[in-house]
Amino acid sequence: MTANNIYFCIRVPPPNLPDVILFSEKIESVASRIVQAPRRHPDMNISDLLHRALRHEWLTPEEGVFLFENATTAELMYVGNAMRYQHVPGNTVTWIIDRNSNTTNVCIANCKFCNFYRRPGHDESYITTIEEYKQKIEETFRFGGEQLLLQGGHHPDLGLAFYTDLFKQLKDLYPTLKLHALGPPEVAHIAKLEKMSHYDVLKALQESGLDSLPGAGAEILSDRVRRLISKGKCGGEEWLDVMRAAHQLRLTTSATMMFGHIETNLERMEHFAAMRQVQSEKPADAKGFLAFIPWPFQDEDTILKKIKRARNAVTGDEYVRMIAMSRIMLPNIVNIQASWLTVGKQIAQVCLHAGANDWGSIMIEENVVSAAGARFRFTADGIQQAIREAGFVPQLRNQQYEYRELPQGIMQQELKAAGMIVD
């Protein structure tokens, strides 16, 4: 499906459904007008499931698969969009200025979808120096950012002291800098090296300056899938345990999914179910997962493509449906982010009418997903323009999803069109 087809879908409501573009009614009133349209399954029908989703009931993974495989795109978008306004009323779409930098590209995990890493001792391996961080951080400040999203490989020799020293040094140099850093697999790797609990590793990192934990490395949480694509990384249950420990420490986190490779639809839905379960276990005064961000596997030159013949076959239509399913299956996560980096401007704009309320970062720097073929790029002006074109008001935010004033006189990135798609 093309972006134009999708725009047609959202402008022309499904039979007996009201127009979702101007959605402003009470959900009960909207739900009452969803057509009763039972489809083939002895125990499930589309209409019942959509009504239950609108009431924030947890659909089972099997019910999610039934909806995903049988509901029309217009129906999923309609309900995803309605749930978006339940969680985030108003016409704003948030975005952030930060950069995705890397501590090291040395990694022993050997994920089959990753072109970023280098084995220990490789000529192109590196550990980022403090001088390099200074340049990156000062440039980020000039572009209006205040945060580093800092991640790296599973370096066999870098233990907890490396990261606590690094975070302290960066915070001493730049007290206002926010560190959205590492991810559950890196925390699990450090815990293994140090023979410490996830909680104690995270506590030491937090005391050294860690502000929040990205949801990296979730891919698909099924251990069947992880054995095949990322065997050297923590398993699905360990990923979730790190997040549970982060929530105990009141660290805010995000949840992600990289889909469209070797997983089944049921494994996608079980992934949603695991995320919402962990979110439901967080302490009452913790924010837990602030956002969910799904993106399609990028396949360019990856071993997963060469050996397992996995291709990125996710169409624009399927991505939009997955954004809507994210809303439907995750009624206890407030923000859903569209990944413009992997799907481009037009599809990400459609996602804003299917349940997404956030456009993520301008990503001053990004090296991991880009190494597997993600080519899209935006400046701060460009991202705001794209949000306006889709009919929304852009609003700069911080990592806590609090609104920020756009700093005056910020520099715009100079994006080179060669090798990139600049929108």
Q: Which residue has the tokens 């889909």?
A: 259
Q: Which is nearer to ligand SF4, 101 or 230 (CB)?
A: 230
Q: Which is nearer to ligand SF4, 109 or 127 (CB)?
A: 109
**Which of 51, 99, 154, 203: binder of ligand SF4 (CB under 6 A)?**
154
CB of 154 to ligand SF4, least distance (A): 5
Strand residues in 260-312 grouped as ranges (E): 289-296
CA distance 11 to 16: 14
| Residues 6+ positions from 89 with CB-CB distance below 8 Å | none
| φ, ψ dihedrals at 138, nearest 5° | -65, -35
**Which of 27, 37, 109, 415: binder of ligand SF4 (CB under 6 A)?**
109
Q: Which of residues 160-219 bind ligand SF4 (CB under 6 A)?
A: 185
Indicate the SS3 state at residue 164: helix
What is the pairing mode between strands 99-102 and 289-296? unpaired
Question: Which sign, positive or negative, has the C-alpha torsion 193, 159, 133, 208?
Answer: positive
**Which of 153, 184, 288, 296: binder of ligand SF4 (CB under 6 A)?**
153
Strand residues in 117-209 grouped as ranges (E): 147-151, 178-181
Residue 300: CB atoms within 10 A of its CB come to: 13
Q: Which stretch binds ligand SF4 (CB under 6 A): 4-12, 22-30, 113-121, 357-365?
A: 113-121
**Which of 66, 68, 117, 292: binder of ligand SF4 (CB under 6 A)?**
117
Q: Which stretch binds ligand SF4 (CB under 6 A): 81-89, 103-111, 201-209, 326-334?
A: 103-111
Total site size for ligand SF4, rule CB under 6 A: 12
Residue 114, interface with ligand SF4 (CB under 6 A)? yes
Q: Which is nearer to ligand SF4, 107 or 336 (CB)?
A: 107
CA distance 277 to 286: 15
Adjacent-strand bridge partners of 255: 292
**Which of 10, 46, 107, 274: binder of ligand SF4 (CB under 6 A)?**
107
Residue 233, interface with ligand SF4 (CB under 6 A)? yes
Residues in touch with ligand SF4 (CB under 6 A)? 107, 109-111, 114, 116-117, 153-154, 185, 230, 233
